[in-house]
Amino acid sequence: MSETPSVAQVIAQALVRHGVETVFAQSLPSAVVLAVEQLGLNVFAYRTENAGAAMADGFARVSNRVGVVMAQNGPAATLLVPGLAEALKSSIPVVALVQDVNRPQADRNAFQELDHLALFQGCTKWVRRVTEPSRILDYVDMAFAAASGGRPGPAVLMLPADFLNEPAGPQNVRKASLGHFPLDRTMADPSRISEAADLLAAAECPLIVVGGGVHLSGAAGEVVRLMSEGHIPALTTMMGKGAIDESHPLSLGVASYNIGPLSPARHLRPIIERADVVLLIGTRTNQNGTDSWTLYPDGARYIHIDIDPCEVGRNYEALRLVGDAKTTLGALADQLQGRRETAPQLEAEIAAGRRRHEEDMVQVLRSNTGPVRPERLMEDLRKILTPQTIVVADASYSTLWVACYLRALTPGMRFLTPRGLAGLGWGLPLALGAKVAHPQSPVICVVGDGGFGHVWSELEASRRMKAPIVLTVLNNGVLAYQKDAEDVKFGGFTGACHFTDVDHAAIARACGCHGVRVERADEYLPAVEAALTAEETTVIDVVTDPEAYPPITFFEGTLDRVRAERVTAPV
């Protein structure tokens, strides 16, 4: 670098100071990308900006480091919006460095000019446009602090193109590294922690609800300690899956809107319904997570631990424990230690519920015919999972199949799902971001054919950037969740729900990846085992049953009836 570094070079140096080793970008802002490459940082070149934002999200989720994505102004910037919105709702720290038009050309209808501050206002924690070279370090640090501080989320820094090549000039001396999270660990009010311990100690049927904030805080160990020492059962939301070893005798698994027939939590619902004190940890208590706010009992007392004061008490008035989950849970466990008796009857009830579920599943899991049942595929995946495996699922049914039928093997095991906004197409890029963060970990991704259609192009990026994953496409030729929900709500479905046949294995091969077509259940496990030993991305295109649906409570008693009436209706 020259003796007087440019603004772009100072930005690159700041990224290094914040611990950034990989950025997700194409070629713009070119001055910053060139400076980053000169410093030896890895530039993972995505094909589309919406996928690039999701890659940065997936990277952050498993690394506990801020994901960094770059993009051009105008249409490229608009494509960042869905990924940043998902990161905002899921509380994932991402910094987006976005090029803007030259400063003298602002508000003159310059090429691809747009009001980017207005564009990003609703999908980020923080958005600014910096124009003074002497302030660039201040603004970069503000962006990282906004992303990783408090409740994490995305931050956007707009960088006029002409500004990037100017000499940076004198800067405020900054030495802090802000690229990790949680950035600041705070603990809830000690008096309220004592009150919470008293409530849990006196409860007859306490219950712990674990949300995705436990992963963000790195608090899985503290959750298990509280379960074990307090002899308290715990369930997780979809985002919280993996925080608890699901073989733990007090684990209820994932329980939200997925407690219909064939759900692993189906026979454990009475434990939830009789809870008298409910401890909520790192959860937004959103609609899906609470089965439309019907899952938890009305008469229970609630305690809510969350870093965001606005989430505490939003849907369930609660004793407010505003603070970091890890530090607050540690203090709570200390105060509860030795104050509750063991719960052998409860553990026996949970074990009996698990056995009933296994009996329910026997017939489904025995089928070797096609089209293949997704439950059978999940059973095969269970055989090859290790605690180090990172599992990723796209939104819609893919998330539900994974959440219900794969089992977390150790506290802190990662299952990534885009549950903030639940947009289709996030599976593959989330998986690629996770692979970049943990290149030695096997990454297994499950997507539907509807969602995969959004991001086929990133297979080429996976090959070019040498980020091999194992990707299973549940190819049922239908937007299944949409079709089934329409059937339940309206007694019929729209014509857009069905696709023509697509050979996703052929698409993979066309991109230079490995592609396998599976039409029988017994062909799947060998294909996955072979893919895990390969050094390239493998797409396993499985022809699955279009009539299969996960145990969604809302569908119970209605979907099967609507289907039966359609079959028997006169032509």
Query: How confident is the model over 419-445, as pLDDT tens digits?
Result: 999 999 999 999 999 999 999 999 999
Query: How confident is the model over 284-300, as pLDDT tens digits?
Result: 999 999 999 999 999 99
| DSSP helix/strand/coil, 335 | helix
With 70 as the cut, is the pLDDT of residue 2 above it?
Answer: no
Averaged pLDDT for residues 236-250: 98
| DSSP helix/strand/coil, 548 | coil
| Token output for 157 | 């820094």
pLDDT confidence of residue 193: 98
Query: How confident is the model over 194-203, as pLDDT tens digits?
Result: 999 999 999 9
Asked if residue 458 lies in contact with residue 46, where contact means CB atoms within 8 angstroms, the answer is: yes
Q: What are the beta bridge partners of residue 321? A: 305
Query: How confident is the model over 363-421, as pLDDT tens digits?
Result: 999 888 789 999 999 999 999 999 999 999 999 999 999 999 999 999 999 999 999 99
In the DSSP assignment, the letter for residue 4 is: S
Averaged pLDDT for residues 126-132: 97
- Which range is least confidently modeled, 2-16, 136-150, 474-488? 2-16
Averaged pLDDT for residues 53-81: 98
| Token output for 322 | 């505003």
Binned at pLDDT 50, 70 and 90, residue 571 comes out as low
400-431 residues labelled b (16+ CB within 10 A) or e (exposed): bbbbbbbbbbebbbbbbbbbbbbbbbbbbbbb
Question: Who wins on pLDDT, 219 or 571?
Answer: 219
Asked if residue 402 lies in contact with residue 415, where contact means CB atoms within 8 angstroms, the answer is: yes
Query: How confident is the model over 495-537, as pLDDT tens digits?
Result: 999 999 999 999 999 999 999 999 999 999 999 999 999 999 9
Averaged pLDDT for residues 335-343: 96
Binned at pLDDT 50, 70 and 90, residue 1 comes out as very low
| Token output for 328 | 């607050």
Asked if residue 200 lies in contact with residue 279, where contact means CB atoms within 8 angstroms, the answer is: yes
Give pairs for 270-274: CB < 8 Å, separation 24+: 271/205, 271/207, 271/233, 271/346, 271/349, 271/350, 272/207, 272/235, 272/296, 272/297, 273/297, 274/205
DSSP 349-385: HHHHHHHHHHHHHHHHHH--SSSBPHHHHHHHHHHH-
Averaged pLDDT for residues 305-312: 98
